[in-house]
Amino acid sequence: MSEGQNPSLDQDANMPPPPEILDPMEALEDLSKYDPQADLIIGAGVVAAAGIGWLPAFIDTGWLVASNSGMISALALNYKYKFTGDNLRGFLFRLIEDSGITFASVKALSAVIQLTGIGFLPGVAINGTMNAALTLAIGKAAQHFFKKRGDVPDDELTDFFKKTLRTMGIGT
């Protein structure tokens, strides 16, 4: 240990080094080996988002943002990508910005159905399904972003997000 170094701050031998000091050769590494764990993280996020759907639409939004933020952070860690809170907010905003009207429309319909007595259970089903679809698309877009080490132009990322939504019959 060099002089002046604090032994209590030494990194645990089993922990990977922080992203800023990772081996530059890692950029050439095949990151697909992390995909099975990423699929589990995304799946857990989808289940959590669908479960949040029992809350009335728009009331669940804060919980949905928190759930998706946790999923994105876990994916960043999985792919050993340094991702801050500011990065996270910008990332979510980029994805939702273009698709916001579609989601707001379906959330509004769900809220009307849930809260007017027309049918609480159909409203919950619509809301939960929309939450799950949104979370799956966000998770897959985040996975795409982290696998490319963040080297994804905005238009490519939003196109990837929208394509994932279209495969589920949402959006145009």
How many angstroms separate the CA atoms of 53 and 77, rounded? 27
Per-residue pLDDT band at 21 (split at 50, 70, 90):
very low
Q: Which of 9-18, 37-46, 57-66, 72-81 has the lowest mean pLDDT?
A: 9-18
pLDDT of residue 6: 39
How many angstroms separate the CA atoms of 93 and 161, rounded? 12
What pLDDT digit, counting tens, does each position of 133-167 carry? 989 999 999 999 999 888 888 888 888 988 988 88
What pLDDT digit, counting tens, does each position of 34-62 carry? 999 999 999 999 999 999 988 877 788 88
Q: With CA atoms as reference, report the closest residue to 52 among 31, 67, 73.
A: 67
- Cα torsion 74, 80, 81, 82: sign: positive
Q: Model-level pTM greater than 0.85?
A: no
What pLDDT digit, counting tens, does each position of 78-117 carry? 998 888 888 888 888 888 776 655 666 666 776 777 667 6
How many angstroms separate the CA atoms of 23 and 7, rounded? 23
How many angstroms separate the CA atoms of 17 and 80, rounded? 9
Residue at 57: amino acid letter:
A
SS (H, E, C) 63-81: HHHHHHHHHHHHHHHHCCC
Count of other CB atoms within 10 angstroms of residue 57: 26
Higher-confidence position of 40 and 168: 40
